[in-house]
Amino acid sequence: MLSMEYMIQLASAFLGSMGFALLFHIRREKLLLASLGGLLTWGVYLAAGGLTGEDVPRFFLASVAAAIYAEVMARVVKCPATLFAVTAAIPLVPGGSLYKTMQYFMEQEFALCSVQGLNTMLLAMAIALGMLCPMSLFHFIRQAGPGLERRRRARGERG
């Protein structure tokens, strides 16, 4: 059973994604689907907490889920995957970590600033790599697909 804290976090992820979807002028018929991506992404992040307490792998897994969701939804509703990828990734933006980094810098706590800054960069890299892997795979499959079909027909094989 989901705790109240998790339900609040999931609702916040949904509403935050919806806010950005509205900001990006996403059409009404795609607004709910775009917002659900943020909920799904944060849900994967929370679920990954059962596997590891470390944020970097959790952010990576959640961004992989966001990219897969974006690619699938793009095929379903026939629109660019970017529309879903950006809104689904909104809950993962490491704003709190960046804020702490800048706070330590302004307080001249340079040792803490460098540790927090490194953590912020690792989170950003986990998000980027998590999005890149599935999107590259989908792109490769799309590019290889028509060529494979032509070669199969040329050999007389049935698909």
Report the distance separating Cα 37 and Cα 73, nearest Å.
9
pLDDT digits (tens, 9 = 90+) for 63-97: 999 999 999 999 999 999 999 999 999 999 999 99
Q: What is the 3-state secondary structure (H, E, C) of 43-66?
A: HHHHHHCCCCCCHHHHHHHHHHHH
Assess whether pLDDT exceeds 80 at residue 147.
Answer: no
Q: Which two tokens stand for residue 3?
A: 């705790």
Report the distance separating Cα 50 and Cα 58, nearest Å.
10
CA 128 from centre of chain: 9
pLDDT digits (tens, 9 = 90+) for 5-19: 999 999 999 999 999
